[in-house]
Chains A and B, each alone.
Chain A
Amino acid sequence: MNININGSKKTNLDFQNLVVLYQHYKEFLLPLGVIVVSILVILYIVFPQIQQYSDSKNLVKAEQQKLNTLNNNYTLLTSLDDATITSDLNTLSLALPPQKDFAGIIDAISYVSAKTGVAVGNFQFSLGDLSSSNFGGTAYPSTKIDLTITGSTQNLANFAHEIIKTKPVAEVSSINISGGTGSLTILFYYKPFPGQNVSDQVQIMPLSLGQSSLIKEVSTWNSVEQAGLLALPITPAASSSAVNSGSPF
């Protein structure tokens, strides 16, 4: 192999020549080596450290946020009154029970019928699938009840009005009034509690004004627990349907 050194003469690159080259440039080797090592240090140590700094900074930011969340949660929780939360939960669970609440439904009908002066005749529950895990794909499963009541037109309308302000939460889906007799279809909603995988690290938000006022409103709803159980006035002529034979009262 021929190599041109200094651009003046051609030299055959054999071992002898390499030795000559080494002798000639050996003083350059150390500084060149230092430069190469420095470049390697930059590539393999400094750059990763800078990258790590950037990652660590992001991690610190995330951890700081987590700490803030935890502190906020702790502050909020310590500021809440145990008795109030328990009472709110009880009230709301009566208003929207976690499962089919037949006793609550019967109590509600009983209470409202007594309050509005109507007499309850036949009624018929449509229970649907009794398996608690199957809610027919609806977000808000309900128990449907077809109810016959007797009274004046105004009292029948009052019954429909009062039943939606009574625990458990209900929806009147049809009203037929004819000659002092009314038949109502009422849906009583329920909703299972969510899974109990409560994480301490999820941000807890204080209840909004709307949520707080809803709790206040719901606590004013008719409730047998608050008013004491009233007897259901049943018309002597009324008889239970085939589905629900016999009044539970």
Chain B
Amino acid sequence: MDGSINLVSPKNEQLEKEQRRLRIVRISALAIMVMVAGIAVLVFIINLTLPLNAIKHNEDVTLSNTSVLHKKLAEYYLVEDRVNNLSNVISKRQKLPDITDALLAIIPSGLSVGSMQVNSKSISLDISGSSLISMNKLIDNVVTLGQQKLIKNIVMQQLSLDVKSNNYAVSIQADIQ
């Protein structure tokens, strides 16, 4: 028998090729279908496991508990509001009484305040007394007050002597820091 004779016809070979292709397509289709179904089920289950409903239920319970305390809550809000606003007012208000106190504290004994004007921008002080030493001490004290950053641009307007009463008078002006 001639060994070179091809018993498998080209048609059969073609058919086998197609069968193989069909098998591959079927297996692929099955694999994809199983995979897609698996992913879909998995995602669905994961979605189900999220505890959204439990959290909402707890929220409702807590809200109903808190609603009993609503008056307290409202009062607490008002306390917070008052404290914050009061704090703002206190922090922004001018410290004129403190400046007045500081000015009066530096006036040596023996001198008297003729007039004192304090506003948000400047101070004006008229002091009189019979002792020039006390006057000198006053001026030193005012300069010290300037160094303490309470006042600035200190100007001594005048230093005068009333010969009849033997009284010295000094007029000082300064800006508030």
A contact residues vs B (CB 8 Å cutoff)? 27-28, 30-32, 34-35, 37-39, 41-42, 45-46, 49-50, 52-53, 56-57, 59-60, 63-64, 66-67, 70-71, 73-74, 77-78, 80, 82, 85-86, 88-89, 92-93, 95-96, 139-140, 153-154, 157, 160-161, 163-164, 169, 171-179, 187, 189, 191, 193-194, 196, 198, 200-201, 204-205, 207, 210-211, 214-215, 218
Contact: B36 with A153, CB < 8 Å?
Answer: no
Specify which chain B residues have a CB less than 8 angstroms from the CB of A92 in the assembled complex. 78-79, 82-83, 86
Knowing A70-B63, A80-B72 are in contact, say whether A173-B96 is a contact too (CB < 8 A): yes
Task: List 4 additional contacts besides A163-B97, A176-B117, A194-B81; criterion CB under 8 Å.
Answer: A96-B89, A139-B88, A193-B81, A200-B66
Which residue of chain A is the closest to B115 with respect to CB atoms? A178
> Given B46, B50, B87, which contacts A210 in the complex, CB threshold below 8 Å?
B87
In contact, A153 and B104 (Cβ under 8 angstroms): yes
Residue B39 at the A interface, CB < 8 A?
Answer: yes
Contacts of A178 in B (CB 8 A): 114-116
Residue picked from B25, B67, B74, most chain A C-beta under 10 Å? B25
Question: Which of A32, A194, A200 is within 8 Å of B29, CB to CB?
Answer: A32
B7 proximity list for chain A (CB < 8 A): none
Residues of B that sit less than 8 Å from A by CB: 21-22, 25-26, 28-30, 32-33, 35-36, 39-40, 43-44, 46-47, 50-52, 55-56, 58-59, 62-63, 65-67, 69-70, 72-90, 92-94, 96-98, 100-101, 104, 113-120
